[in-house]
Amino acid sequence: MLPDYHFHTDFSGDSSTPITAQIKRAIELGMESLCVTDHHDYDVECPIDFTLDIDRYMKTMPLLKEEYKGRIDLRIGIELGLQTHLKDYFDWLLSAFSFDFIIGSTHFVNKKDTAYPEFFEGREERDAYLQYFQTTLDNVRNLDHYDVAGHIDYVVRYGPNKSRFYSYEGYQDILDEILRTIIERGKGIECNTAGFRKGIGQPNPCIPILKRYRELGGEILTIGSDAHVPQDLGADFQRSRDLLLECGFSYYTEFKERKPEFKPL
């Protein structure tokens, strides 16, 4: 099975799964490689603490990498919550710690969690979606601290109508600008299969965005389940692989020491 490049463990504020349970599940599924990407959302206003204990994380993961050597190739990543005011902090973070892979995700807008209903209160859903996309654009344009942009249309999982009135065409201008910026900067995107489990019926980003990214020349693409529990690891990978082939991709990407490795789909 394709390696899962987006999953969480009890190092993340919203998971209680031991990392060993995720690794064992990946071996069971026949993955040859796996990249752990626990949450680090720094300086946000949220009831859940999404701050990663990076010291402990970066001491634990290399030991597990060694322990499971020969059975699975564990790569050490992080899902970094992008916010432009944290540029100096991110500079420090990435000089202090070496990751194989960084997912840069937009979860917070003006420090507010877009997964909570308060983000949508008192305004049109479209305004909230546009603000989310604008923030994503600011992040991918002004920061360099990521390899792929995480789940680009994540916000549509949480709007009052979810993806009912959402389409790529409805937001094409800003979405194209996001994709062009990512490509120009030599970065990539991910195909996040949690969309299937969140009731959207497709990955995040949606199929037309994946297609458009490829059309615009995008090549760097990782695949991740965003699993917080072992039963979700690698979920919907087979159908996503078929979708990606239909979207025009022939390769997916793995990362080692932040360098992309292209593998046939």
Residues in contact with Zn ion by CB under 5 A are 79, 105, 226
Between 4 and 226, CB nearer to Zn ion: 226
Between 40 and 211, CB nearer to Zn ion: 40
Q: What is the smallest separation between the CB atom of 91 and Zn ion, expressed in angstroms?
A: 22
Token digits of residue 20 = 């060993």
Q: What is the smallest separation between the CB atom of 250 and Zn ion, expressed in angstroms?
A: 26
Burial 4-20 (b: 16+ CB within 10 A, else e): bbbbbbebbbebebebe
Between 138 and 264, CB nearer to Zn ion: 138
Q: How many residues does the chain have?
A: 265
Q: Can you tell me the distance from the alpha carbon of 16 to that of 253, in angstroms, rounded to the nearest whole number?
A: 28
Q: What is the smallest separation between the CB atom of 161 and Zn ion, expressed in angstroms?
A: 21
Q: What is the smallest separation between the CB atom of 122 and Zn ion, expressed in angstroms?
A: 25
Going by C-beta distance under 8 Å and a sequence separation of 6 or more, which residues neighbour residue 202?
195, 196, 243
- The residue type of 196 is F
Q: Can you tell me the distance from the alpha carbon of 4 to that of 77, in angstroms, rounded to the nearest whole number?
A: 11
Q: Can you tell me the distance from the alpha carbon of 80 to that of 145, in angstroms, rounded to the nearest whole number?
A: 8
Closest CA to 72 of 19, 17, 13, 111: 19
Q: What is the smallest separation between the CB atom of 101 and Zn ion, expressed in angstroms?
A: 13
Q: Are strands 259-264 and 251-256 parallel, antiparallel or unpaired?
A: antiparallel
Between 71 and 154, CB nearer to Zn ion: 154
Token digits of residue 162 = 């979810």
Q: What is the smallest separation between the CB atom of 217 and Zn ion, expressed in angstroms?
A: 25
Q: Is 24 helix (H, G, I), strand (E, B) or coil?
A: helix
Token digits of residue 28 = 């069971």
Q: What is the smallest separation between the CB atom of 13 and Zn ion, expressed in angstroms?
A: 11
Between 79 and 100, CB nearer to Zn ion: 79
Token digits of residue 245 = 């082939």
Q: Please classify residue 55 by burial: count the beta carbons closer than 10 Å to its beta carbon, then call 0-12 exposed, 13-18 middle and 19+ buried.
A: exposed
Between 7 and 166, CB nearer to Zn ion: 7
Between 195 and 218, CB nearer to Zn ion: 195
